[in-house]
C-alpha cells in the first residue's frame, strides 16, 4: 500500500491532489474537534493514524480511546466549559485526550512539559485549570513532585481552581501524591457512564465557535498568555494546510514536534486527519533515529525546523537509508539560507519544499510558500495566505486570513510594499487572550486586526517578508522567548543590580539569549552561577546562552533612562566575534 501511495503522490499533479480533497468538501462542514474526528474515524477506521514510541494506532483506536476518556471525565465530574490541562511529553493518549475534551464540551489546555514549577504555577492558576492530566516525570522534570509541592502552597491554593489531578505513573520508585487519581483508576470510571449519557453531553457541545483550546504563548510583558482558539479556527487552519500543500490521500508525515505546540497540532494532528493520513511522532529524536523512523514507516513528508534539519542533512549515514517515499518537506519557525534548502533537495531527493509563517494567535500558519517556488523565494519569503477553498472567506480570495503592514507607533495602514509591523485578521485569528483584556485590546483592534509583533513587508506578489520582531522577542529552536520574562528571573538573583536580555544569532538554535548583567556593588557572581539560577526557574530554551558582566557606566541609555537594546545588539556582535566566554 505504501509503495502505491508513493507512486500515486509522485504521479498526480498538485492540482489533481487539490481537486481530490475539494471534491470531498463541497461546502465547509462547520464542526467541533470531536465531530470532525468522529467522521474521520468512521471513514478511515482501520487506517494507521499515529506512530509513537514503537506503537501504531489506527483512527478507530484513537477514537475508541477518546470515547473512554470522555466517559471517565464525565464520571469525574467534568462539566461543559470546564478547563482540562494536559502536562506531558508526546504520548499515545494525547490526541485522544484532546478529542475527549471536545466530546464533553471542555476547554483543552496543552502545557509545555519543559516548564519549571514556578512557570506551571502561573499557567495552572491563570488558566483556571480544574482538571489536570500529568505525566509523573518528563526527562528531568518531576511534574508529580512539583504539582504536589504547589498544592501545599497557600497562595496557590487561593489562586488555583484545581479540583482533580490525574497522574500517568512512569516512575515506580517515586511516591505519588495520594490525592492524585492514578491513570488506571481514572479509566475504570468510564464504566459507570453509558453511551446515552455521553451522546447527551456531546449533543450539548456542538457549537464550533466556542473556545476549544487555550494555548499559552510567551507575552511581551513577561507573562505567558492563553490564546483562545475555537474548534472552527483550528479545523479551518488544518484544512487550509492540507489544501495548500496538496496533501494526498494517506500521506505519512514525520513530525518530530512537541504536541503542546500549534505546529504539531495543526500541521500534523489536524492536517493528516483530513486525508486519512498518518504522522510519526518522535519529539527530540536524534538525526539517526529520525532517519530510521522515516525509513521504517515510509515517510512521504517531513515537518521540521532548521535546527533539526541541518544535523540530519549532515549526518554521516544519511545516505544509508531508503527514503524513496520522501518527497515533501515543511521547514518553518526560522529562516534558512538557500544552501540549506539546496542540500535538502540534493540529499533527501525532495520535490516539494515549503516554508510558512504564523503564530499561535493565527492557529499556527497563516501563510505558506507555494509548491514549486524557487529556493531563493523560500529563503527570503515566508509565503502568502494559505489556500483555504471552502473553508476560506470569499472576500479574502478564499484564504482564511488577510495581512497588511501598519506603522508601529501610530497603527496607521502603510502603503503596499512599505516596511512596518505585520497585522492579520480572519477566520483563524484569535479573538483574544484569556482573562487579559488589556493585552487583548493592545493586540487586536475593533475590526479584528491582530498586531503580530513582527516587522516585515508584503511584496508585489503578496508574499510576506519577515524582517525581525518589533518587541525584541526571539526564538530558540522555534520556541518564542520573552526577554522580559528572563530579565525578571535574573534580576531576582541577590547579587544582580540590573539586567538586560536580547536575542543573538546562534548557529545551532537560530537564536539564543544573551544577558548583560550589572552586579551590585561589592557583590560577585560567575556566568555559571547566573545560568544555574536560571536553570531552576526557567525552561531550558529560555536560559541565556551568553552572560556578559557590565559596569553601570557601560549601559547605553536613552535620555529617559531606558536601555537602548539596539546598541546592546552591536555590543553583543563585538563580543561574539571575539574569544569564547569563560564559565
- For residue range 567-579, list pLDDT tens digits in order: 899 999 999 987 5
pTM for the full model?
0.85
**DSSP string over 147-158:** HHHHHH-HHHHH
Does residue 279 lie in a domain region? yes
Does residue 412 lie in a domain region? no
Helix ranges restricted to H, 77-208: 94-103, 117-126, 143-152, 154-159, 183-189, 195-203
Task: Please give the torsion angle defined by the CA atoms of residues 124, 130, 136 and 141, in that order, rounded to the nearest 10 degrees.
Answer: 0
The label of the residue with cell 550589572 reads 518
Give the three-state DSSP class for 184.
helix
Rg (CA), the chain: 24
199 and 307, same domain (yes or no): no
Is the backbone of residue 423 left (phi > 0), alpha (psi -120 to 50) or beta?
A: beta
Q: What are the backbone angles phi and psi of residue 403, rounded to the nearest 5°?
A: -115, 155
Does residue 231 lie in a domain region? yes
Q: How far is CA 450 from CA 125, 336, 358, 442, in A?
A: 26, 26, 12, 9
Cβ atoms of residues 272 and 49 within 8 Å: yes
> Which residue, of 346, 368, 400, is where some domain finishes?
400
93 and 149, same domain (yes or no): yes
Give Cα 342 to chain centroid, integer Å: 26
Which of 87, 128, 51 lies closest to 260, judged by CA? 87
Angle among Cα 73, 260, 91 to the nearest 5 degrees reads: 65
Give the three-state DSSP class for 197.
helix
Return the H-helix or E-strand segment holding 11: helix 2-11
Whole-angstrom distance, CA of residue 452 vs CA of residue 358: 9
Q: How many domains does the chain have?
A: 3
The label of the residue with cell 464540551 reads 105
Whole-angstrom distance, CA of residue 457 vs CA of residue 417: 6
Whole-angstrom distance, CA of residue 530 vs CA of residue 293: 39
Contacts of 130 (CB under 8 A, 6+ apart): 78, 82, 83, 84, 161, 162, 163, 164
Does residue 570 lie in a domain region? yes
277 and 388, same domain (yes or no): yes
Helix ranges restricted to H, 386-525: 437-443, 483-491
The label of the residue with cell 484569535 reads 430
Q: Classify each residue of 129-155 as buried b or exposed e, where b means 16 or more C-beta atoms within 10 Å of its C-beta.
A: bbbbbbbbbbeebbbbbbbbebeeeee
Q: Classify each residue of 60-79 as buried b or exposed e, where b means 16 or more C-beta atoms within 10 Å of its C-beta.
A: ebbbebbbbbbbbbbbbebe
Whole-angstrom distance, CA of residue 351 vs CA of residue 348: 9
4 and 80, same domain (yes or no): no
182 and 223, same domain (yes or no): no
Whole-angstrom distance, CA of residue 435 vs CA of residue 432: 9
327 and 365, same domain (yes or no): yes
Cβ atoms of residues 518 and 499 within 8 Å: yes
Low-confidence ranges of the chain (pLDDT < 50): 1-8, 220-221, 559-560, 580-583
Whole-angstrom distance, CA of residue 308 vs CA of residue 285: 9
Residue 228: its pLDDT value, please? 98
178 and 105, same domain (yes or no): yes
C-alpha cell at 172: 515506580
Cβ atoms of residues 342 and 296 within 8 Å: no
Which of 287, 269, 293, 288 lies closest to 279, judged by CA? 269
Helix ranges restricted to H, 172-324: 183-189, 195-203, 231-244, 262-264, 287-296, 306-313
Give the three-state DSSP class for 188.
helix
Whole-angstrom distance, CA of residue 466 vs CA of residue 479: 17
Does residue 326 lie in a domain region? yes
In which domain, by residue range, is 201 found?
A: 53-207
288 and 301, same domain (yes or no): yes
Does residue 429 lie in a domain region? no
86 and 144, same domain (yes or no): yes
> Which residue, of 207, 234, 253, is where some domain finishes?
207
C-alpha cell at 277: 493520513
Does residue 437 lie in a domain region? no
Q: Classify each residue of 459-491 as buried b or exposed e, where b means 16 or more C-beta atoms within 10 Å of its C-beta.
A: eeeebbbbeebbbbbbbbbbbbbbbbbbbbbbe
Contacts of 278 (CB under 8 A, 6+ apart): 47, 48, 49, 50, 51, 250, 251, 252, 253, 272, 297
193 and 221, same domain (yes or no): no
Cβ atoms of residues 75 and 189 within 8 Å: yes
62: domain CATH number is 3.40.50.980
> Which residue, of 400, 430, 447, is where some domain finishes?
400
Give the three-state DSSP class for 62.
helix
Residue 67: its pLDDT value, please? 98
Q: Which residues share a beta bridge with 457? A: 465
333 and 307, same domain (yes or no): yes
C-alpha cell at 517: 548583567
498: domain CATH number is 3.30.300.30
Residue 408: its pLDDT value, please? 80
Does residue 415 lie in a domain region? no
100 and 180, same domain (yes or no): yes
Whole-angstrom distance, CA of residue 473 vs CA of residue 483: 6
Amino acid at each position: 500500500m505504501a509503495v502505491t501511495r508513493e507512486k500515486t503522490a509522485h504521479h498526480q499533479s498538485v492540482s489533481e491532489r487539490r481537486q481530490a480533497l475539494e471534491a470531498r468538501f463541497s461546502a465547509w462542514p462547520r464542526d467541533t474537534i470531536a465531530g470532525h474526528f468522529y467522521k474521520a474515524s468512521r471513514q478511515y477506521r482501520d487506517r494507521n493514524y499515529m506512530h509513537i514510541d514503537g506503537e501504531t494506532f489506527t483512527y478507530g483506536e484513537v477514537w475508541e480511546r477518546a470515547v473512554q476518556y470522555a466517559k471517565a471525565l464525565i464520571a469525574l465530574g467534568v462539566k461543559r466549559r470546564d478547563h482540562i490541562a494536559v502536562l506531558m511529553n508526546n504520548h499515545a493518549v494525547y490526541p485522544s485526550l484532546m478529542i475527549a475534551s471536545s466530546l464533553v464540551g471542555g476547554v483543552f489546555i496543552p502545557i509545555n512539559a519543559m516548564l519549571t514549577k514556578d512557570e506551571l504555577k502561573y499557567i495552572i492558576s491563570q488558566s483556571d485549570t480544574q482538571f489536570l492530566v500529568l505525566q509523573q516525570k518528563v526527562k528531568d522534570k518531576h511534574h508529580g513532585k512539583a504539582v504536589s509541592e504547589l498544592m501545599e502552597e497557600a497562595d496557590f491554593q487561593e489562586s488555583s481552581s484545581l479540583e482533580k489531578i490525574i497522574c500517568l505513573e512512569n516512575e515506580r520508585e517515586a511516591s505519588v501524591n495520594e490525592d492524585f487519581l492514578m491513570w488506571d483508576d481514572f479509566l475504570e470510571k468510564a464504566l459507570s457512564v453509558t453511551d446515552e449519557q455521553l451522546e447527551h453531553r456531546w449533543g450539548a457541545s456542538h457549537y464550533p465557535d466556542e473556545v476549544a483550546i487555550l494555548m499559552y504563548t510567551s507575552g511581551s510583558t513577561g507573562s505567558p498568555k492563553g490564546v483562545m482558539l475555537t474548534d472552527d479556527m483550528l479545523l479551518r487552519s488544518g484544512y487550509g494546510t492540507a489544501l495548500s500543500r496538496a496533501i494526498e490521500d494517506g500521506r505519512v508525515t514525520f513530525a518530530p514536534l512537541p504536541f503542546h505546540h500549534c505546529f504539531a497540532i495543526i500541521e500534523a494532528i489536524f492536517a493528516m486527519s483530513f486525508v486519512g493520513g498518518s504522522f510519526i511522532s518522535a519529539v527530540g529524536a536524534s538525526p539517526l533515529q529520525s532517519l530510521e523512523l522515516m525509513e521504517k514507516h515510509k515517510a512521504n513528508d517531513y515537518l521540521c525546523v532548521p535546527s533539526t534539519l541541518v544535523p540530519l542533512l549532515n549526518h554521516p549515514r544519511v545516505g544509508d537509508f531508503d527514503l524513496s517515499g520522501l518527497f515533501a518537506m515543511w521547514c518553518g519557525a526560522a529562516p534558512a539560507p538557500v544552501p540549506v534548502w539546496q542540500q535538502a533537495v540534493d540529499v533527501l531527493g525532495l520535490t516539494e519544499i515549503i516554508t510558512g509563517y504564523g503564530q499561535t494567535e493565527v492557529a499556527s500558519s497563516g501563510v505558506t510558500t507555494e509548491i514549486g517556488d524557487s529556493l531563493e523565494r523560500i529563503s527570503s519569503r515566508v509565503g502568502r495566505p494559505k489556500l483555504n477553498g471552502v473553508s476560506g472567506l470569499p472576500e479574502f480570495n478564499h484564504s482564511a486570513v488577510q495581512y497588511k503592514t501598519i506603522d508601529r507607533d501610530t497603527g496607521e495602514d502603510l502603503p503596499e510594499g512599505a516596511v512596518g509591523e505585520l497585522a492579520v485578521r480572519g477566520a483563524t485569528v484569535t479573538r483574544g487572550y484569556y482573562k487579559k483584556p488589556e493585552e487583548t485590546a493592545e493586540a487586536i483592534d475593533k475590526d479584528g486586526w491582530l498586531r503580530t509583533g513582527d516587522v516585515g513587508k508584503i511584496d508585489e506578489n503578496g508574499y510576506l517578508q519577515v524582517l525581525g520582531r518589533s518587541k525584541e522577542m526571539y526564538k530558540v529552536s522555534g520556541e518564542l522567548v520573552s526577554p522580559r520574562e528572563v530579565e525578571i528571573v535574573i534580576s531576582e538573583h541577590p547579587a544582580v543590580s540590573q539586567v538586560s536580555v536580547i536575542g543573538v544569532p546562534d548557529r545551532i538554535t537560530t537564536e539564543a539569549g544573551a544577558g548583560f548583567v550589572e552586579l551590585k556593588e561589592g557583590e560577585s557572581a560567575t556566568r555559571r552561577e547566573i545560568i544555574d539560577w536560571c536553570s531552576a526557574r526557567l525552561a531550558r530554551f529560555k536560559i541565556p546562552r551568553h552572560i556578559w558582566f557590565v559596569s553601570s557606566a557601560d549601559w547605553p541609555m536613552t535620555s529617559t533612562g531606558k536601555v537602548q537594546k539596539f546598541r546592546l545588539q552591536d555590543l553583543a556582535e563585538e563580543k561574539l566575534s571575539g574569544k569564547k566566554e569563560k564559565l
